[in-house]
Amino acid sequence: MVRKERKTWIIYPEYFDKSKSRSEGRRVPTELSVSSPKLKEIGAILDSLDIPNRLEKYQHHPASWYEGNGRVFIPKQKGSKQEILKIIAEKLKERKKEQ
């Protein structure tokens, strides 16, 4: 049986949260992470990068199923998912510095 390849990546705000450990879902280094990243901020950054996205507000990251921080679907891009996450993390960090 041939498995269909997924055509989207899922991004959770937990990937960028400074207060989370790697086992709790953080996927970027602590120097690139921020405190309390918001789903709308991630969506706005993806819009500024011209990456189509779909926000789902009340979904849960498997490691923190008790928190409903939401998730974002984006189509697969050239390169790896980790590269996209680092770009988003850098933009989030810049936004937090401006505030």
- Tokens coding 37: 């990243």
Going from N- to C-terminal start, the domains of the chain cover: 8-98
Q: Say if residue 2's pLDDT is above 70.
A: no
CATH class entry, domain 8-98: alpha beta
Burial letters 50-67, b for 16+ CB under 10 A, else e: ebebeeeeeeebeebeee
The model scores a pTM over 0.85: yes
Residue 53 — pLDDT band, cuts 50, 70, 90? Answer: very high
Q: What is the mean pLDDT of the chain?
A: 88
Q: Say if residue 1's pLDDT is above 60.
A: no
Q: Give the helix, strand, coil percentages of the chain, each rounded to 5.
A: 35, 15, 50
Q: Say if residue 4's pLDDT is above 70.
A: no
Tell me the three state secondary structure of residue 10: strand
pLDDT value at position 60? 82
Edge-to-edge strand ranges of the sheet holding 54-56: 8-11, 71-75, 54-56
pLDDT value at position 5? 57
Q: What would the pLDDT profile of 24-41 be if each residue is shown by its tens digit? A: 888 999 999 999 899 999
Cα of first residue to Cα of last residue in the chain, in angstroms, is: 51
Contact 8, 73 (CB under 8 A): yes
Q: Say if residue 62's pLDDT is above 90.
A: no
